[in-house]
Structure 1
Amino acid sequence: MQTTLVRSRFRPPQVSRRFIPVWRRNFLVWRKLALPSVLGNLADPMIYLFGLGFGIGMLVPEIGGVSYISFLAAGMVCSSTMNSASFEVLYSAFSRMHVQKTWDAIMNAPVDLDDIVFAELVWAASKALLSGVAILLVIAAFSLVDTRYVLWLLPLIFIIGVSFGALGLVMTALAPSYDFFMYYFTLFITPMTLVSGVFFPAEQLPAAVQFVASLLPLTHAVELARPLLLGKAPDDIVLHLGVLVAYGAAGFWIALGLTRRRLLG
């Protein structure tokens, strides 16, 4: 009986086009505060980019043949995308699910929980895309972008948003309160940011740490974004994309199963 129940909760996702109105509802709510939201998402990465880029850049003239601030720009695009998607599926989605009971209200309409969770994932990736594009425009204004491959960054940013949005939804399904999310940021997001090549080449790390970093999604995001920003084609594109897609697909499936258990019993 218990095994059957577990299988029922973790059955394959059944998503329909009914997720679109849920996505649109989130967009319309966000649109009322769009400008402060975008500026808020820009502030933190821009402080890091120009503070560290010009500060450390005075001590480290070049990395891999490019200026340190150009090297850092790709890392900021990826980490900002990660943070934007994570904050949306953690704090905002948790509010809609647990505090405001918005999900319960939506399920009174002919919309399944699968559609709601998928809509949250797509919305988080969409919002991350908006944040990523805003950062790209800023760094392009400072001539830190080679425009030859820059358009390929747009689908990449969306995929990164999906990957981290799915991982964040797992935490949302498990969280008893907002305080729970501090463990996720402290024990996962922050260490990953430090070892994934955002601020310095991962090759400088000990071999064991490099191996762990190679398993993390942010590493693969940076490995794709940095060459594209510098006007080069990335190496091992299939591998890096495969890892990001795998995290997104597995994370969504697990998050959906945990959410079914939490809300549907």
Structure 2
Amino acid sequence: MTPNHWRLPQLSLRFVPVWQRNFLVWRKLALPSVLGNLADPVIYLFGLGFGIGMLVPEVGGVSYISFLAAGMVCYSTMNSATFEVLYSSFSRMHVQRTWDAILNAPVSLDDVVFAELMWAASKALLSGVAILLVISLFGLVDTRYVLWVPPLIFLVGLTFGALGLIVTALAPSYDFFMYYFTLFITPMMLVSGVFFPADQLPPIIRAATTLLPLSHAIELARPLLLGHMPEHTALHLLVLMGYCSVAFWLALALTRRRLLK
């Protein structure tokens, strides 16, 4: 009988040891990993924040560097989750064949893929919180609602982790990932409000940005970091959770089709 690759995920707590395995491997290189994830957004933050900030004193009533800080939290979270499920997960699945070894134990493929998603979100949480600490030390955060930001970071990590797993399931090699970055991640970063208000874009592009997950993440993160509650919170959360749920189901189905003959 042909297996039903498109059935709903069947998950169990057996994903936890797989998550733990990834954590133990990462722990050996934890410091370089964290510093690597910090470097890019911190360079953007202070390079553009102070540079463009000299030309643009305020954006939306706050300093440009404070405006940019929220974008960098989401940007760092997105990048960390994306790189993990693309390069690291692909290595474990296709190159190192780690997944094949794990599947010899009483662990299902559904649990393995879910463990990869949870691990990517966990790493994204570390990256996002690290940036959050940096911008807090420089006084760029209003602390009234800052405790709501780490759960949001984790949700953003889940969302982009799930989207990246779709690409991993389809990728024949590492080179394939450049299409994803060039055609999706980079354009989304430029139009979703990371570096400038998205409402300055032409109407047709502005309308398109409302469909992008990064836009919804920033619409939640920026107000929280500037000290006030976001508008349309439920809508933004539902969009992110919808992306995460549908993308994970699709990624799992494609992974089953690839690995379960």
Aligned to 1:123: 119
Which portions of structure 1, spanning 4 or more consecutive aligned residues, are displaced by more than 3 angstroms? Answer: none
Q: TM-score scaled to structure 1, two decimals?
A: 0.98
Aligned to 1:233: 229
Report how far residue 172 of structure 1 moved. 0.1
Aligned to 2:150: 154
Aligned to 1:94: 90
Aligned to 2:194: 198
- Offset from partner CA, 1:39-92 (integer Å, 9 cap, x none): 000000000000000000000000011000000000000011000000000000
- Cα distance between partner residues in 2 of 1:136 and 1:77: 6
The alignment covers a number of residue pairs equal to 261
Verify: 1:51 aligned to 2:47, yes or no: yes
Verify: 1:61 aligned to 2:64, yes or no: no
Kindly provide the amino acid, as one letter, of the partner of residue 44 in structure 2. Answer: Y
- Cα distance between partner residues in 1 of 2:249 and 2:207: 26
- Cα distance between partner residues in 2 of 1:64 and 1:200: 10
- Cα distance between partner residues in 2 of 1:132 and 1:197: 17
Verify: 1:105 aligned to 2:101, yes or no: yes
Q: TM-score scaled to structure 2, two decimals?
A: 0.99
Aligned to 1:22: 18
* Cα-Cα RMSD: 0.8
Verify: 1:243 aligned to 2:222, yes or no: no
Aligned to 1:255: 251
- Cα distance between partner residues in 2 of 1:21 and 1:106: 10
- Cα distance between partner residues in 2 of 1:133 and 1:202: 24
Report how far residue 114 of structure 1 moved. 0.1
Report how far residue 107 of structure 1 moved. 0.3
**Structure 2 unmatched ranges of 5 or more:** none
- Cα distance between partner residues in 2 of 1:136 and 1:111: 36
Report how far residue 220 of structure 1 moved. 0.1
Aligned to 1:71: 67
- Out of 147, 159, 163, the position equivalent to 1:163 is 159
- Cα distance between partner residues in 1 of 2:183 and 2:96: 28
- Offset from partner CA, 1:4-42 (integer Å, 9 cap, x none): 75xx10100000000000000000000000000000000
Kindly provide the amino acid, as one letter, of the partner of residue 242 in structure 2. Answer: A
Q: Identical aligned pairs, as a percentage? A: 78
- Cα distance between partner residues in 1 of 2:198 and 2:129: 25
- Cα distance between partner residues in 2 of 1:90 and 1:247: 17
- Cα distance between partner residues in 1 of 2:129 and 2:141: 12
Verify: 1:140 aligned to 2:136, yes or no: yes
Kindly provide the amino acid, as one letter, of the partner of residue 47 in structure 2. Answer: G
**Structure 1 unmatched ranges of 5 or more:** none
Report how far residue 95 of structure 1 moved. 0.1
